[in-house]
Structure 1
Amino acid sequence: MRKLTTACFLLWSIIGVAQVKPTSADVRMKAVQQRKQLQQSPVNNTSFRNIGPTVMSGRVVDMEVNPDDPTEFYVAYASGGLWHTINNGQSFTPIFDSEDIMTIGDIAMHWKTRTLWVGTGEVNSSRSSYAGMGVFKTTNNGKNWEYLGLPESHHIGEIEVNPNDPNTAWVAVLGHLYSPNKERGVYKTTDGGKTWRLTLSSDANTGAVDLEVNPKNPNELYAAMWYRTRTASNFEEGGKTSGIYKSTDGGENWQLISKEGSGFPNGDGVGRIGLMVYAANPNTIFAVVDNNFRQPANARQNTTDTSRYVLADFKDLSKEQFLALNDNKLNAFVRSPRNGIPAKYTAASLKEAVSNGTLAPTAIWDFLYDANTALFETPIYGAQLYRSDDGGATWKITHKDALPNLYSTYGYYFGKVWVSPTDDKKIVLTGVGLMMSTDGGATFKQIGKENVHSDHHFVWINPKRDSHMINGNDGGCNITYDNGEHWFKANTPAVGQFYNIAVDMARPYNVYGGLQDNGTWFGASTTRENYDWYDGGHNPYTSIGGGDGMQVQVDWRDNKTVYSGSQFGAYSRQTIGTRERRSVRPARDLGETPLRYNWQTPILLSRHNQDVFYYGSNKFHRSMNRGDSLVTMSADLTTNPQQGDVPFGTLSTMSESPLRFGLIYVGSDDGNIQVSKDGGYTWTLINKKLPKGLYVSRVTASAFSESRVYVSLNGYRNDHFEAYVYVSDDYGTTWRQIMKDLPAEPVNVVKEDTEDGNIIYVGTDGGLYVSIDGGNSSMMWNKGMPNSIPVHDLVVHPRDGEIVIGTHGRSLYVAKLDELRKMAKKK
């Protein structure tokens, strides 16, 4: 957690970021109507078909399980919609696809009346946590939905419905992700959502992340307030206005109960909090907190593995301290492949270099430390579980030992606690791992097995048989009947969250893609998902890499040489069907300036010569030998902005002209666009006349005119949702905005058709749009897809006349282009 100074923010305002203002709810609601108008287009005579995949699923954020028949339940995905099963997860039906928003934060079911509430906008404050538009309700299982307002809520942590009165409900609103807003806190309705009152609020950066109701006395409620700010470059994970509040009058008035002296952490170090009321005795409340207070040095020494060095051991060393390091431990650290220190170094050579002044004693720290390190290698307490047995008046921590395997340092992506309704000794915590205690939280063990994905967000514990649990994680839904000894998956929906896709030239061609927290996969474009693969023993999709799957490039000469990787530029080249794999990443030496890598570090294989491979950090790198060695061709191509604890000032996109080898464009996350006409030796800044402070989501060189290039700009990281698409016909010297009739939705990708230069495709956070007149007008193309779905990438296959759509929430779609191209010719 790093708080940038006021001076830094003022400086950043001067260079343009402050010009990007959050989009108002009125503009977003008008965009919904605009989208509906654009859907009434002849292009929707052609339907898309989903080709999966389903095997890796996507991020589950919430569930509602029928307490009388647990084979019926609802599963809410972060950006994949809402699904219903009546056969214990063997099959699911989507029931929210007709609505104007897909992202979900929480759902609540009043089972007596079967009234289902949906709070849109995922509460996990991640890089692709999309803003919602408020609350929806259905009384007929999704056949019809009623919009209930709260459009400025953006991200909803919890909905609670009074079990005795289905018209009374409370909503925990976390608020905007990337900007302050006053509409945060706990809202209450007593008329079924027709009107709302904000009954608990703090400030423009503190919202409600969790909410619990006493099931025996609905007038008693507990709310978790969370201070957090996020920008493109920095994340504050906690603050002094975070805390637990209690109401005894139905949420009309609230009192802070985690105040100083209560036993619960208090002050600037309090991060996200999750709450659970013990159903059998509601005076007992559990709270898991992301404790961001720094541990004292002696505490860290007691909990650190002293048998090996960690990066923090190399910070602020003097020459004498470095020379006194243990040689065996230093050699082990240097030789660890994960550290990437050049193989030429040993403990002896490092000490010699430090001794004679060739290297600084902090050289290892300087080499490995970056903004991502600032986020994850921080000596905070981390996850802690507290218990109160007097209705929240006093609290005690349940465990002596730390819970190091629960969060990856900060818990902004997690933060929930679950307790058996009949046994207060049985507690489950969700985080990177899934941990269960049977002794009241004194000790925990991991219960996720080999077929259970990591990163957990939900657990339902059967009140009639508490060994039966349903778990929601980044890999979908898992079910156990024996306390986690065995699990099976309930992953039939195609809800993959793709970042980037690519195709090869095989017959039939394959589609490749990287997915959020689900690695990189490929499968045939003719795939039709069914259960036959269980008999055959091989899923239609094949995994080729782990981590958060990012960009993919395929050598079309053999359709087997694939470049792929995971977050922050960890790429490799592999040959499909063999074990051959080689890292492809720019090398640098100790003492050299660190490189910065985007979450989706861009890579590119030249179609002019597919031995030529391009790679973007904050600089441009080129290989003439398939990535075996990479040469840094440029200086820093970004604005070199102030660094926080999120990598920023990185290249985000690149494109080479299909008409001219070495004509290359790059864009950065801080708004720079540069062009090189000589293969990367020299660069010219070309974005001076474009809007400032926006993420360059895509730059695409034209295949129809050498001097033409398209650019899309994205304001998601400022809660700015306007659509920006531009074209230049003079290598970026001048620009013209196109597709001006697009609704206010951030644009992720712009591509040309491969046969008709007047056909332009645009993917936004709301769907796919197409122009057949060179960008003068737009049509929405979503037949066969949900009404609204984030489109992160698209590819037009140059041989087969098909378009492939990579969605961030509903996997992959394919459609023929014959009718669209005929329509364009008649234009």
Structure 2
Amino acid sequence: MKKIAFLISALTFSVSWGQNGTTTTTPTLFQELTLQNVGPTVMSGRVVDVAVNPENPIEFYVAYASGGLWYSNTNGLRMEPVMDTAPTLNCGSVFVDWKSGMILVGTGEINSSRSSYAGIGLLQSFDKGKTWKNIGLTDSHHISKILVNPKNSQEIVVGVAGHLFTKNKERGVFKTTDGGKSWQQVLFVNDETGVIDMAVAENNFDVMYASAWQKDRKAHNFNGNGKASGIYKSIDAGSTWQLISTPESGFPSDEFVGRIGLSAFTSDSIYAVMDNQKMRPSAKKEKDPNDEDPEVIGAEVFKSSNGGKTWVKTNTSFIDDFYSSYGYYFGDITVDPKNQERIYITGVPLLFSDNGGKTFQAIDGDNVHSDHHVVWINPNNPNHLVNGNDGGLNITYDNGKSWQLCNSIPVGQFYAVNVDEQEPYNIYGGLQDNGVWVGASNYSASIGWQQEGKYPYARLMGGDGMQIQIDKRNPNIVFTGYQYGSYYRINRADESKSKFIAPKAKKGDKPYRYNWQSPILLSSHNQDILYLGSNFLHRSMNQGDTWTAISPDLTQGGKQGNVAFGTLTTISESPFEFGVLYTGSDDGLVQFSNNGGASWKVISTTLPQNLWVSRVVASAHKKERVYVTLNGYRNDDFTSYVYVSEDAGQTWKSVANNLPASPVNVILEDSVLDSVLYVGTDNGLYISVDGGASWQDFSNGMPPVAVHDLVIQKKAKDLIVGTHGRSVYKVSLKQVQELKKEVLDKTLYVYEIKNTTKSERWGSKRGAWGDEFIPKNELWFYSNSVGNVSVKLENPSKEIVYTTTVAAQKGLNKVVYDLSIDKAAADKWMAKDKKLKITPAKNGKYYLPVAKYTWTLSKDKEKATTPFEILAPK
């Protein structure tokens, strides 16, 4: 019997701040700039857990893998985020005590995928998510299950999967009896085996079960099974544990045991679903390096009717087309609390059995994503299910014959984004397991489209959506694809002309190694020239019809494993000269060619070694300048790595400086100012106005979500932010792109203000029941220090018609003005100008007449002015 009971303070383990986005950045100059979410919503995002009120099942909380916790009391018709004030959005599990209102979120996704982000411990809220408190287990990274004594909410038992890519001690089962003030590690198997699931019968908190999972994930290999995997039982509310999946029990105990899901009907009757990674007799011996789908046994269902003393496998034949080799990604089983013959298991698809697991049928019909993670069964209506999957949340009241899809919120997990040159421009994006989409940039996430019958975004293709390039001469020509280099040239005007274009190795040669997200790039010098990276750099002179490898293997040669590795991750071409190329690989090499690929040079020897090169970017401002970001996520390394070279990679300088410790996914130069840089990390967006010497938060309006990609639409001066958890944001850079050093040094700087056309609608309602039409004009200014700023508006006669005082903050400030003046100012003006008539609008306000005006701002004896005009209607 394993009895582990040594006391652990909730504060014993140091917090890895890269996991929670706590910043050491300088106070931001950009508090007034707000990022706007532009969707899309319809494809939703990955749900990992749900907590449903059994007394009122239209009320529930939904935990998204990297999109935070959302609440609904309208059966999903309306959902609101309740975790945006927490330091992380990465969720693994959620528990709600509906009587006291206590919410517990185990942070860190548990599905062990490429983007299963780490958490920061166990978060607690008593006010529906308005505020959060970390109550411990800060080095757990991934929390799988939370059990709370229904008679004593201070007694909490937590399953911890532990670090994803490295060994650690804080994994297993932990227990607190004082609400998280102190913790006991009550089950520890070893430093690469954590607990992936727990189950307890509703009527007996003393008897509980836990499933241990031995796994070892690396960038090049994932071993998701081992002899240490198994099932443990406690009969004293989790204080001590005993292994019950022994060889004598009938439950597998060999090295092929993978992830195990548990569900208890009673204290003695319990189900388990196990991912058996043993090869089937018919399995192929040879394996393509890009193939992650070997023929393993896969899912097997077991049942014990005597508290785990013995187990019987319920399915007598293989459960085909369900787990394949991805059992690590699923692993949930749920038994009907009123009928132990009815069980559900999650995978691809969702399966239901009404005979205790002997046979199964698929129940995920139309309107349901195929990859499933969690099922809740209404204890008062067994046909009412709440299901979480890669496409969000689905609800059924007829046991899967029909489904409601709750997809009105922006929780998409984007890998990549891009824009075209149309007006208004379109945004393109590739998402985790939800394909590639395109939509108008002027769309704001809402459900108003349902009345029109056409969603503003359109899907270009399915699978895991990857990078996108758009022909600037013809926006109907789009290059995109799905995982492992499966790229297409899509003709949106004529689908019959669309074509699969990915290069393949010649017969007899080794297959190319493609990254999960293989990089592509259209040449800025010639839009017929396309680059694509495998372990080689390939170039096409005819948009992918034919290819030539223009490099040797640009990686370290790959590693033996079951995940394609030794692959290119990023490509950049200098806009100054055709043939000047840079590449980065997943094994840490940055290479440079100045002759179109005829020769290559490794330029990363002085950089940190063997880290994933997330970006290499050739500067558009200086020919010899190049940026590199490295990412330690796959090493559980949360350091920020950002470098710049002024000599094409001969020497490097770190410009991470005061960035918070968080893996960096992308760096982008501003399109106007070479001093301005943008960086996207696993916990947010940052900006530098001094070439990386210092960094500031640039996430106002956006929660601490992973930022995977950035792109600037130059004409519109918009920055597009692709997040892995909250879809796409955009923010105007018009103010940022004027912040030259001489502007930053000024006491006061006022921006040009947009002129406005006079309208008779000002102050009127839209019909009897509509809202008032209130004009709005924004006056932006920069202040180099905190203090009061006098703001005055003068008419053509230099008379002040409007004045206010603004408590300015250091940085950008905004005055929002509704273009109205008081009656006294209107009367005074009309007294001097007898021809002028300023009459009150229907709302009683006096609005500015057609005229030319001047804004004057004053601070510390400094003044700044800008003209402004109310134009006559055409």
Instruction: Report SS of the residue matched to 1:44.
Output: coil
Partner of 2:205: 218
Task: Mark the CA change 1:173 to 1:39 in structure 2 (over 3 Å): closer, same or farther.
Answer: farther
Summarize deviations over 1:160-182 as a string: whole Å, max 9, x none: 11111111111100000000001
Partner of 1:714: 631
Partner of 2:531: 614
Partner of 1:78: 65
Q: Distance in 1 between matches of 2:64 and 2:269?
A: 30
| 8 Å contact kept, 1:662–1:677 | yes
Partner of 1:771: 688
Summarize deviations over 1:463-492 as a string: whole Å, max 9, x none: 100001011000001111001000110111
For residue 284 of structure 1, the aligned residue among 263, 269, 277 is 269
Unaligned runs of 5+ in 1: 1-23, 301-311, 316-364
Q: Distance in 1 between matches of 2:740 and 2:247?
A: 68
Q: Does 1:29 align with 2:14?
A: no
Q: Distance in 1 between matches of 2:446 and 2:171?
A: 44
* Residue identity opposite 1:673 in structure 2: V
Partner of 1:450: 366
Partner of 1:235: 222
Partner of 1:5: none
Partner of 2:338: 422
Instruction: Report SS of the residue matched to 1:467.
Output: strand
Instruction: Report SS of the residue matched to 2:647.
Output: coil
Partner of 2:855: none
Q: Distance in 2 between matches of 1:81 and 1:39?
A: 26
Q: Distance in 2 between matches of 1:660 and 1:161?
A: 63
| 8 Å contact kept, 1:773–1:824 | no
Q: Distance in 1 between matches of 2:682 and 2:630?
A: 12
- Once the two structures are TM-superposed, the CA of residue 143 in structure 1 deviates from its matched residue by 1.6
| 8 Å contact kept, 2:273–2:302 | yes
Q: Superposition RMSD on alpha carbons, in Å?
A: 1.4
- Once the two structures are TM-superposed, the CA of residue 27 in structure 1 deviates from its matched residue by 6.1
Q: Which moved more, 1:38-47 or 1:456-465?
A: 38-47
Q: Does 1:805 align with 2:721?
A: yes
* Residue identity opposite 1:726 in structure 2: Y
Partner of 1:782: 699
Q: Does 1:184 align with 2:102?
A: no
Partner of 1:370: 288
The number of equivalent residue pairs is 731
* Residue identity opposite 2:404 in structure 1: F
Partner of 2:305: 389
Partner of 1:795: 711
Partner of 1:529: 445
Q: Distance in 2 between matches of 1:504 and 1:684?
A: 33
- Once the two structures are TM-superposed, the CA of residue 30 in structure 1 deviates from its matched residue by 8.1
Instruction: Report SS of the residue matched to 2:542.
Output: coil
For residue 141 of structure 1, the aligned residue among 122, 128, 143 is 128
- Once the two structures are TM-superposed, the CA of residue 372 in structure 1 deviates from its matched residue by 3.8
Q: Distance in 1 between matches of 2:72 and 2:129?
A: 13
Pairwise mapping of residues 535-614 of structure 1 onto structure 2 (< 5 A)?
535-579=451-495, 580-614=497-531
Q: Distance in 1 between matches of 2:18 and 2:395?
A: 41
Task: Mark the CA change 1:25 to 1:659 in structure 2 (over 3 Å): closer, same or farther.
Answer: farther
Partner of 2:567: 650
Structure that is richer in strand per residue: 2
Summarize deviations over 1:513-558 as a string: whole Å, max 9, x none: 1000000001111111222221221111100011000100001111
Partner of 1:20: none
Summarize deviations over 1:13-68 as a string: whole Å, max 9, x none: xxxxxxxxxxx963623885851x53731112200100000000000000000101
* Residue identity opposite 1:601 in structure 2: S
| 8 Å contact kept, 1:480–1:486 | yes
Instruction: Report SS of the residue matched to 2:382.
Output: coil
Unaligned runs of 5+ in 2: 1-11, 745-874
Q: Which moved more, 1:576-585 or 1:152-161?
A: 576-585
* Residue identity opposite 1:126 in structure 2: S
For residue 40 of structure 1, the aligned residue among 27, 32, 47 is 27
Q: Does 1:478 align with 2:403?
A: no
- Once the two structures are TM-superposed, the CA of residue 578 in structure 1 deviates from its matched residue by 2.5
For residue 377 of structure 2, the aligned residue among 453, 461, 474 is 461
Q: Does 1:173 align with 2:173?
A: no
Q: Distance in 1 between matches of 2:508 and 2:41?
A: 46
Partner of 1:506: 422
| 8 Å contact kept, 2:18–2:639 | no
| 8 Å contact kept, 2:17–2:662 | no
- Once the two structures are TM-superposed, the CA of residue 823 in structure 1 deviates from its matched residue by 3.1
Partner of 1:162: 149
- Once the two structures are TM-superposed, the CA of residue 662 in structure 1 deviates from its matched residue by 1.4
* Residue identity opposite 1:545 in structure 2: M
- Once the two structures are TM-superposed, the CA of residue 589 in structure 1 deviates from its matched residue by 2.2
Q: Distance in 2 between matches of 1:726 and 1:582?
A: 38
- Once the two structures are TM-superposed, the CA of residue 77 in structure 1 deviates from its matched residue by 0.1
Q: Distance in 1 between matches of 2:656 and 2:606?
A: 18
For residue 103 of structure 1, the aligned residue among 84, 87, 90 is 90
Q: Distance in 1 between matches of 2:132 and 2:26?
A: 20
* Residue identity opposite 1:565 in structure 2: G
Q: Distance in 1 between matches of 2:18 and 2:592?
A: 36
Higher relative CO (Cα under 8 Å, sequence separation at least 6) belongs to 1
Task: Mark the CA change 1:577 to 1:532 in structure 2 (over 3 Å): closer, same or farther.
Answer: farther
Identity %: 49
Instruction: Report SS of the residue matched to 2:739.
Output: helix
For residue 696 of structure 1, the aligned residue among 600, 613, 624 is 613
* Residue identity opposite 1:792 in structure 2: H
Q: Distance in 2 between matches of 1:542 and 1:33?
A: 33
Task: Mark the CA change 1:370 to 1:25 in structure 2 (over 3 Å): closer, same or farther.
Answer: farther
| 8 Å contact kept, 2:321–2:348 | yes
Partner of 2:747: none
Task: Mark the CA change 1:556 to 1:41 in structure 2 (over 3 Å): closer, same or farther.
Answer: same
For residue 594 of structure 2, the aligned residue among 653, 667, 677 is 677
Structure that is richer in helix per residue: 1
Summarize deviations over 1:259-312 as a string: whole Å, max 9, x none: 11101111211110000001xx332100000112334x3xx4xxxxxxxxxxx5
| 8 Å contact kept, 2:290–2:513 | no
* Residue identity opposite 2:180 in structure 1: G
* Residue identity opposite 1:104 in structure 2: C
| 8 Å contact kept, 1:31–1:743 | no
Partner of 2:411: 495
* Residue identity opposite 2:604 in structure 1: N
Question: Which has the larger Rg?
Answer: 2
Instruction: Report SS of the residue matched to 2:620.
Output: coil
Q: Distance in 1 between matches of 2:711 and 2:279?
A: 47
| 8 Å contact kept, 1:370–1:647 | no
- Once the two structures are TM-superposed, the CA of residue 801 in structure 1 deviates from its matched residue by 0.7
| 8 Å contact kept, 2:537–2:549 | yes
Q: Distance in 2 between matches of 1:263 and 1:386?
A: 9
For residue 663 of structure 1, the aligned residue among 573, 580, 603 is 580
Q: Distance in 1 between matches of 2:310 and 2:505?
A: 54
- Once the two structures are TM-superposed, the CA of residue 634 in structure 1 deviates from its matched residue by 1.1
| 8 Å contact kept, 1:749–1:792 | yes
| 8 Å contact kept, 1:32–1:743 | no
Q: Distance in 2 between matches of 1:187 and 1:125?
A: 20
Q: Distance in 2 between matches of 1:506 and 1:635?
A: 38
Task: Mark the CA change 1:183 to 1:397 in structure 2 (over 3 Å): closer, same or farther.
Answer: same
* Residue identity opposite 2:589 in structure 1: N
Q: Distance in 2 between matches of 1:610 and 1:283?
A: 67
